[in-house]
Amino acid sequence: MLRDGTLDGKVALITGGGSGLGLSMAKRFLELGARVALAGRNEERLAGALETLGDLRSRAYAHPCDVRDPAAVEALVRDVADRFDRIDIAVNNAAGNFLAATEDLSPNAFDAVVRIVLHGSFHVSTAVARHMIARGGGGTILNILATYAWTGSAFVIPSAVAKAGVLAMTRSLAVEWAAYGIRTNAIAPGPFPTEGAWSRLLPTPDLERETLENIPLKRFGRHEELAELAAFLVSDAAAYINGECVTIDGGAWMASGGMFNGLASRPRDAVKEFLRSRR
């Protein structure tokens, strides 16, 4: 729906850009004229992502980075800014998630997800903002959340807690950094099929069917739908949208609340046995 050239001259940094929704957003940004830096922990996956871009690859770049490490994030931002002369857009898409009974969670398991999602988003946002403030001219930060950021959800407590924190950060920074011309928004996707998340969160036909039945539109999201929304929110067409979280889930959260709450109605021993079988 967006015009060719909508993102001409813009430079975007996308974390978790080596696959899934991150790569889909990267492709759309490139199609619209942006230059894009992909960041992720897996160097091999990033190299494969670049290969899928075809002719668009000439305006793309990949940099391995663990967003949990603030020093690594600072190095990433410096490298992208040196290569492309600027950063106008940052998309915090890196995430970790898995199904687990909360009473069985270890402190390390909880910490791993929170450090990627919440700490990582903070590290990237602040490093990029410092660059934008020093350069002048503002920019935009887009955080990828989940609808259970405000409803909560059983069996994904680390992710729910972390995403709720990122939602609060989105709204807080939208006010604080507006003085610098930096807009901060978020997208809360419902179920979008991705190779990684699908195998961890909807690993059986029964769970997939149950999730689909709870979506009023009776279908899962398509990557191009989220990518187009993301491109709009980071573009100048959305220049007066700041501090907003846009839900794209076919109406699912209003119909069912927490995405995985349905598991709570099943016998707990059976649920735990199922979760153990997925490890």
Q: Which residue has the tokens 């995403």?
A: 163
Query: Is residue 234 situated within a structural domain?
Result: yes
Query: Is residue 4 situated within a structural domain?
Result: no
Query: Is residue 215 situated within a structural domain?
Result: yes
Geometric angle at alpha carbon 268, from 262 and 269, rounded to 5°:
140
| Structure-block tokens of residue 46 | 């990033």
How many domains is the chain partitioned into structurally?
1
Query: Is residue 74 situated within a structural domain?
Result: yes
* pTM of the predicted structure, to 2 decimals: 0.90
At residue 196, the pLDDT reads: 67
Residue 182 sits in a domain whose CATH number is 3.40.50.720
Parts of the chain with a pLDDT under 50 = none
Residue range of the domain that includes 241: 11-277
Query: Is residue 44 situated within a structural domain?
Result: yes
At residue 279, the pLDDT reads: 64
Query: Is residue 3 situated within a structural domain?
Result: no
81-87, long-range: CB < 8 A, 24+ apart:
81/131, 83/37, 84/11, 84/35, 84/37, 85/11, 86/11, 86/135, 87/11, 87/12, 87/13, 87/37, 87/128, 87/131, 87/132, 87/139
At residue 37, the pLDDT reads: 98
At residue 124, the pLDDT reads: 98
At residue 231, the pLDDT reads: 98
Query: Is residue 2 situated within a structural domain?
Result: no
| Structure-block tokens of residue 133 | 């403030």
Residue-wise pLDDT for 119-165, tens only, equals: 999 999 999 999 999 999 999 999 999 999 999 999 999 999 999 99
148 labelled catalytic:
yes
Query: Is residue 5 situated within a structural domain?
Result: no
DSSP string for 173-201 = HHHHSGGGTEEEEEEEE-----HHHHHHH
Please pick, among 61, 148, 180, 240, the residue that the annotation labels catalytic: 148
Cα 278 from Cα 180, distance rounded (Å): 46
